[in-house]
C-alpha cells in the first residue's frame, strides 16, 4: 500500500528565513507521481508541483525548490526567504500509475505540515 509521511506537524519561522518541508513516501510501484499542494486559510488546495518517478532533477520556481531523491524515497520542499503569505498547510501526495506511466489520478496524501511565517 502507498503511504506518505510528513513528519513535521507544525513549523514556525520568522519572515526571510528559509524553511524545508519534509516528505517521505512508500510505494511498490516503479512508476509514480509526486505532488505538493498548498492549502491557505481559505481552504482550497492549490497545486504547486508534479514530479514523475523517472525524473530526479531538482526543480526551482522562484522562491520554491524541490529535492527529489529516489534513494531515500523523499521529496522535500524548500521555501527560500519565506514571506507571511507563505503561511498555509502544505501537503505532499503520491499518485498511482500504470505500467505506461499514465497516472490513474488517485492521490494518497500526507497529513500535512502547518507552516506559520511571522513578520
Partner 1 sequence: SQTIHQWPATLVQPVGSPLSLECTVEGTSNPNLYWYRQAAGRGLQLLFYSVGIGQISSEVPQNLSASRPQDRQFILSSKKLLLSDSGFYLCAWSVMERGTQYFGPGTRLLVL
Which residues of this chain interact with partner 1, rule CB under 8 A? 33, 35, 37, 42-47, 50, 91, 95, 97, 102-107, 109-112
Residues whose CB is less than 8 angstroms from the CB of residue 38 and which lie 6 or more positions away in sequence, other chains included = 45, 46, 48, 88, 89, 90, 91
Nearer to partner 1, 92 or 117 (CB): 92
Nearer to partner 1, 106 or 118 (CB): 106
Pull the grid cell for residue 86.
507563505
Q: How far is the CB of 44 from partner 1 (least distance, A)?
A: 5
Nearer to partner 1, 52 or 80 (CB): 52
- Chain position carrying cell 524553511: 19
Q: What is the DSSP letter of 72?
A: G
Amino acid at each position: 500500500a502507498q503511504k506518505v509521511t510528513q513528519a513535521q506537524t507544525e513549523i514556525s519561522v520568522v519572515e526571510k528565513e528559509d524553511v524545508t518541508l519534509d516528505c517521505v513516501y512508500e510505494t511498490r510501484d516503479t512508476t509514480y507521481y509526486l505532488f505538493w499542494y498548498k492549502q491557505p486559510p481559505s481552504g482550497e488546495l492549490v497545486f504547486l508541483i508534479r514530479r514523475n518517478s523517472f525524473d530526479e532533477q531538482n526543480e526551482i520556481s522562484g522562491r520554491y525548490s524541490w529535492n527529489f531523491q529516489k534513494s531515500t524515497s523523499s521529496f522535500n520542499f524548500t521555501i527560500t526567504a519565506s514571506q507571511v503569505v507563505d503561511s498555509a498547510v502544505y501537503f505532499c501526495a503520491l499518485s498511482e500509475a500504470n505500467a505506461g506511466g499514465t497516472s490513474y489520478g488517485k492521490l494518497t496524501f500526507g497529513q500535512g505540515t502547518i507552516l506559520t511565517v511571522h513578520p
